[in-house]
Amino acid sequence: MISTGLSFWAIAVAVLVAVAASGSALGWLAWTALPRWRARHAGHMRSELREFFLFIDPAQLWVASVMACGLAATAAWLVTGSLLITVSSVIACLILPRHVLLRLKRRRLQRFDQQLPESLLMLAASLRAGAALPVALRYLADESEPPLSQEFSLLLREQRLGSRFDEALVNLAQRMPSEATQLTVAALRIAADTGGNLAEALERVAGTVRARLQMAGRVDALTAQGRLQAAVVGALPLLLAVALSALEPDVMMLLWQTPTGWLVIAVVAVLEVVGMWWIRRIVAIDI
């Protein structure tokens, strides 16, 4: 009996030591990794926001992100009482800002491409009227709307600060990585290096970009049903879970608060992600 009691206490002490050591290791890891992750997050957010010409203090965004994660975790715990749902809400809250930034960046790039044909025709008309290229670019930047006006204003500002015209064009192509921008930059660089009829080259580029945009619009219209199907596939399980939780809360608690339910949720989530990804791959047609 004494040896059994000693064995029990030895195991208990070993478990407590292991838990304490694991907790200390995790705490030390979090304490050392958090500042690095925060600095990386601040630098990344600063560069991303500068692309949108938004000059916001990354520290304020960090505080807002932490508060949003805390509110999401509290709301998820109070509504479901599930640790898995709470952790998932925190992870989603951390991922969502990055996704929103990528979506805004994509929309800004699309808006730039849509503005480009008319702007190139305007630039070609200014050149045919006898204006020099810097003057025509300044007129284009003043008369256009964002984001095109912002990008060409930045190009001219880089030139005034001492950058060569080629370097400013390369920076423009890096900020707006689309095929339309590549064609425009190539035409301007060739004309600046070798001369030639730049107005005619810009008109041809404008026609090519306009034709590609029309073709892309047709493809988007034909694949709209597939994108809607992906959205329905992603939203239907969530809506069904909310409805069943309201109608049968006792039964759904087994899904939210048991290891078997957590496994089912994980499997469903993986299948949802794979299904949405596969549908998006099918409807994603390169022009």
Q: What tens digit of pLDDT does each residue of 198-212 get?
A: 888 888 888 988 988
Q: Reduced to 3 states, what is the DSSP secondary structure of residue 223?
A: coil
**CATH for 110-211, options being 1.20.81, 3.40.1360, 1.10.3470, 2.60.40:** 1.20.81
> What kind and span of H or E run contains 261?
helix 259-283
Q: Reduced to 3 states, what is the DSSP secondary structure of residue 130?
A: coil
Q: What is the mean pLDDT of residues 61-78?
A: 77
Given a cut of 80, is residue 166 above it in pLDDT? yes
Quick check: 125 and 139 in contact, CB under 8 A? no
Show the DSSP H helices in 129-197 as ranges. Answer: 133-143, 148-160, 165-175, 179-194
Given a cut of 60, is residue 27 above it in pLDDT? no
Provide the whole-model pTM.
0.67
Distance CA 272, CA 238 (A): 10
Q: What is the mean pLDDT of residues 186-207?
A: 81
Percent of the chain whose predicted confidence (pLDDT) is above 70: 76
Mean pLDDT computed over every residue of the chain: 77
pLDDT at 115: 92
Q: pLDDT-derived band of residue 26, with 50, 70 and 90 as boundaries?
A: very low
Distance CA 72, CA 79 (A): 11
pLDDT tens track for 214-262: 888 888 888 887 778 778 877 888 888 878 878 888 888 887 778 888 8
Task: Tell me the one-letter amino acid at 253.
Answer: M
Distance CA 256, CA 82 (A): 5
CB within 8 Å of 223: residues ≥ 6 apart: 283, 285
Q: Reduced to 3 states, what is the DSSP secondary structure of residue 161?
A: coil
Half-sphere exposure of 278 (CA within 13 A, CB side): 7
Most confident option among 6-15, 19-28, 276-285: 276-285
DSSP state of 146: T
Distance CA 245, CA 252 (A): 6
Given a cut of 60, is residue 180 above it in pLDDT? yes
Given a cut of 60, is residue 24 above it in pLDDT? no
Distance CA 146, CA 79 (A): 43
**Comparison of pLDDT for 5 and 201, the residue scoring more:** 201
Q: What is the mean pLDDT of residues 110-132?
A: 89
Distance CA 109, CA 101 (A): 12
Tell the burial category of 183 from Cβ atoms under 10 Å away from its Cβ (0-12, 13-18, 19+).
buried
Given a cut of 60, is residue 106 above it in pLDDT? yes
Quick check: 113 and 100 in contact, CB under 8 A? no
pLDDT at 67: 81
Domain chopping of the chain, boundaries: 110-211, 223-283
DSSP state of 164: -
